[in-house]
Every structure is written in C-alpha cells, then in structure tokens.
Chains A and B, each alone.
Chain A
Amino acid sequence: GAGVSQSPSNKVTEKGKDVELRCDPISGHTALYWYRQSLGQGLEFLIYFQGNSAPDKSGLPSDRFSAERTGGSVSTLTIQRTQQEDSAVYLCASSPQLRGRTDTQYFGPGTRLTVL
C-alpha cells in the first residue's frame, strides 16, 4: 500500500518568506508526527497529532512554526518569516496508534527546505 508522502520534496525560499509543507499519512493512521533533521541538531521532534488535535507541541522551536491537521488525515506544517537556521529536512511520520510503547512509526521521504 501507499506509504507516507510529503510535498514538495525540495523547497528553496528566500529569508522572510512563509512556506507550507504537506504530509499525507498512511490511510487509517490516527497519529501523525513532524520531525526535522538538520546538520547541527540531528533528528528532533516538532509536534504530534492524535486525530486533529495536537497534544504535544513541545518541539516547535518558535511561534513562527505552526501545524494543523484536518479530517484526521493531511497535515500542513507552516513556517512564517523563514530564517536561514530553518534550513533542514522536515520529516513526517504516521502510526496506527494502537499501543504507544510498541507503536511503529512510518516515515515519509522528507521535504528538504533551503532558506537563502
């Protein structure tokens, strides 16, 4: 079946512009996660959705970052007024959320964001 998909695969933007990154999770997966991977910081958690609500937003680095999920499916991560330090690969994952500690997360290929 189809895995997690993300779009665009690459995004180049100018400093100060807003960007939207999209994630299509595996059909039927109730949990959705955003992570980012940058050279200096490794893989870090950003936000977690259960259905359409976000019980854990603790990883969002600033108020320029926001995310929403609609219909329990597609999610959009928005970065306003992008800065060069936002350059990273943004990864989305989904899971069926059957049992938290044994739940497998399935990752998309990521969106590589470059802020000039």
Chain B
Amino acid sequence: DAKTTQPNSMESNEEEPVHLPCNHSTISGTDYIHWYRQLPSQGPEYVIHGLTSNVNNRMASLAIAEDRKSSTLILHRATLRDAAVYYCILRSGATNKLIFGTGTLLAVQP
C-alpha cells in the first residue's frame, strides 16, 4: 500500500475550522483515501472516504487535490470532542486491512 505523510500534531480553537493535511504522492489510480479518528481511550472510528471528488458528510469534508497526491480533512467547526488522533489511510483492492501511520494529534482549545 502507498504511504501517507501527516503532521504529528495540530492545534485548533473551539468553533473554528480545522484543516488536516495528508500527503500521498505515490497513490495509485484505484486507491481510495480514507480517514479514521481515534478519541482518547476508544477504538478508531470511520470519518470519511473519497476517490477523486470532494466529499461531504455529517462529520467532515474531504478535499482531494486534482492530482490526488494530497488531501485535506476539514472539520468545519471544531469542538472539544473532536480532539483525537486523525489517520489518513489509502485503501487498495489488494488488501482489506487498514495500515495505520502515526496520524495527526489534534488538540482543541476552548
């Protein structure tokens, strides 16, 4: 599976938007981009996924660069409950497992 690169940590203020970047320069044409997050003392939870077009759901938005070598997870209004480690993961058809990197630890300040 292609590798992803994320900043180790980011900080945000409550009720402000947060943009979490992910680089995946070796992505293949059939790889989907998935985001999961892990709140403290919990298992990971699915956030969003996409292939080429930008995606929106109730939790977040996913903006995918035109060349697909990077993507950005957007939390429109951060809350204290959004403090978590956010993982950007590429999914190919060759494997069913999730390969987690180190993720981005998001801190949200009141």
Q: How many contacting A-B pairs (Cβ < 8 A)?
A: 64
Across the interface, name the chain A residue whose C-beta is closest to B38: A43
Chain A interface mostly: strand
5 contacts between A and B (CB under 8 A): A33-B96, A33-B98, A100-B95, A104-B49, A107-B44
- Asked if A109 and B43 sit within 8 Å, CB to CB, the answer is yes
- Asked if B43 and A110 sit within 8 Å, CB to CB, the answer is yes
Which of the residues A4, A59, A101 comes within 8 Å of B30, measured between beta carbons?
A: A101
Is B92 an interface residue when CB atoms closer than 8 A count as contact? yes
Type the 1/0 row for A85-104, where 1 means its CB is closer than 8 Å to any CB of B. Answer: 00000010101010011111
A residues with a Cβ closer than 8 A to B are 4, 31, 33, 35, 42-45, 48, 50, 56, 59, 91, 93, 95, 97, 100-110
For B44, what are the chain A residues with a Cβ–Cβ distance below 8 Å?
Answer: 43, 91, 93, 105, 107
**Cβ-closest 6 pairs across A and B:** A107-B43, A43-B100, A45-B97, A104-B46, A101-B91, A101-B32
Type the 1/0 row for B67-102, where 1 means its CB is closer than 8 Å to any CB of A. Answer: 000000000000000000001000111011111111
Across the interface, name the chain A residue whose C-beta is closest to B49: A102
- Asked if B92 and A108 sit within 8 Å, CB to CB, the answer is no
